[in-house]
């Protein structure tokens, strides 16, 4: 007997939190990660926040190793545990940022996609392209039930 595995062609998690108030830059980035499903609520392993923070603040393309070293330094400065900074995990988190269209790869280095504002990337890639395609497909399934 063959069992089929349902694999999504695309998926997205969106969460709504309170309006941003007086927050540090890191806390704002953390809320963006939580709101877009890059970070799970209650997850203590939040190295993706620091990776995203470094890429947002960097004006240059960075290699995985440069990002990793900067993450270690940033976490030490902020007195955060140095967990999740293995090269393999940093690469995995960068891949997740790329899948959300926030980060692009250029000659084995990474930077914010087209050096664009994150709000513009979210609107163009997620809100206007990715989300409507998912909603359209769900509607097709719903119509199939009628």
**DSSP 8-class letter at 62:** B
Residue-level pLDDT at 9: 83
Residue 1: predicted pLDDT: 64
Do residues 39 and 46 touch, judged by C-beta distance below 8 A? yes
In CATH terms, the fold of domain 25-114 is Arc Repressor Mutant, subunit A (1.10.10)
| pLDDT of 119 | 95
CA distance 40 to 37: 6
Record the tokens describing residue 111, joined without a space.
Answer: 């930077």
Q: What is the pLDDT along the chain (146 residues), one digit of tens a residue?
A: 666 678 888 888 999 999 998 999 999 999 999 999 999 998 888 999 999 999 999 989 999 999 999 999 999 999 999 989 999 999 999 999 999 999 999 999 999 999 999 999 999 999 999 899 999 999 999 999 98
| Residues 39-78: tens digit of each pLDDT | 999 888 899 999 999 999 998 999 999 999 999 999 999 9
Token representation of residue 49? 């926040």
Q: What is the pLDDT of residue 42?
A: 87
* Annotated domain spans of the chain: 25-114, 116-146
């Amino acid at each position: 007997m063959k069992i089929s595995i349902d694999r999504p062609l695309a998926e997205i998690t969106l969460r709504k939190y309170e309006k941003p108030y007086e927050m540090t830059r890191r806390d704002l980035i953390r809320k963006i990660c939580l709101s877009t499903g890059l970070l799970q609520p209650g997850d203590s392993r939040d190295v993706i926040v620091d990776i995203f923070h470094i890429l947002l603040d960097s004006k240059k393309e960075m290699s995985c190793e440069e990002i990793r070293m900067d993450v270690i330094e940033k976490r030490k400065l902020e007195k955060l545990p140095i967990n999740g900074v293995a090269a393999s995990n940093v690469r995995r988190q960068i891949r997740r940022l790329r899948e959300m269209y926030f980060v692009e790869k250029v000659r084995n280095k990474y930077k914010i996609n087209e050096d664009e504002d994150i709000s513009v990337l979210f609107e163009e890639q997620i809100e206007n392209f990715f989300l409507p395609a998912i909603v359209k497909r769900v509607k097709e399934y719903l119509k199939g039930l009628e």
